Amino acid sequence: MDEKTRAHVMIKENGFAKDYSPENRKRVIQIWFTKDEILSVDRGGAYGNQYSSRREFKVSARKKIMDLFGWPLATVNRDLKELRDELKAQDKKPITELPELMDGEVIYFNNRVLEWYESEKQIEKIKADARKAMDDYNARITKVKSKLGTFKRDFTKVGGFENYLALAIKKDPAIKGNKELRKYVEEKVLKGK
């Protein structure tokens, strides 16, 4: 007897099928049913088509499992779901060797690899250019901010830069008359005050 036949005989003669662990139950299901049967849509009932003269009755896989081993429906449903998930996960494993390809297919895939590589290089160049532009931008801002720091130091005599701005915007004709400056100060500097 081959291994499958031996397993079938062993399962049929084993009176303790109800006591199987979940792993053993899934193993039994795999021995008894093909992978396609386990993964197929599990519906029972009458089936046929417009050309058949009689309708046949199809027994669902879960009903067959319950009848064969006496396992409860909830147990069979859980085992089948886990088993299907495991089988689907195995199918998603990446291939380890290239399949046989025709010359045209090899050229196509090689060209796609080269296009991918060129696109990756373009992305890296764009990122490098953006980093350089950002560094230049930050350096320019830092230079201007250091200049602003010297302005603020000069205003200690009048209670600080912002204090002078608030008073000058209201009272000094030179500052008060510059509408653009006044609008900028009111929106950007004195907004929270």
Q: Is residue 64 part of a domain?
A: yes
For the chain, what is the domain count? 2
pLDDT for 87 equals 87
pLDDT for 146 equals 84
pLDDT for 136 equals 95
Q: Is residue 127 part of a domain?
A: no
Q: Is residue 117 part of a domain?
A: no
pLDDT per residue rounded down to tens, the chain (193 residues): 566 666 666 666 665 555 678 888 888 888 888 888 888 756 555 445 555 555 555 667 788 888 877 788 888 889 999 999 988 888 777 777 877 888 888 899 899 999 999 999 999 999 999 999 999 999 999 988 888 777 777 888 888 887 888 888 888 888 878 888 878 877 877 665 5
pLDDT for 91 equals 76
Q: Is residue 81 part of a domain?
A: yes
For residues 34 and 40, what is the distance between their CA atoms, to the nearest angstrom?
10
Same domain as 158, residue 86 = no
pLDDT for 133 equals 96
Q: Is residue 37 part of a domain?
A: yes
pLDDT for 68 equals 77
Same domain as 156, residue 84 = no
Q: Is residue 164 part of a domain?
A: yes
pLDDT, tens digit, 9 for 90 and up, residues 94-109: 777 877 888 888 899 8
Same domain as 87, residue 10 = yes
For residues 27 and 83, what is the distance between their CA atoms, to the nearest angstrom?
9
> Hey, what are 54's tokens?
């009689």
User: Which of 91, 111, 130 corresponds to the end of one domain?
Assistant: 91
Residue 156, CA atoms < 13 Å, CB-side half-sphere: 4
pLDDT for 114 equals 95
Same domain as 84, residue 157 = no
Q: Is residue 29 part of a domain?
A: yes
User: Which of 66, 91, 116 corresponds to the end of one domain?
Assistant: 91
Which residue segment(s) compose the domain that 65 sits in? 3-91
pLDDT for 65 equals 82
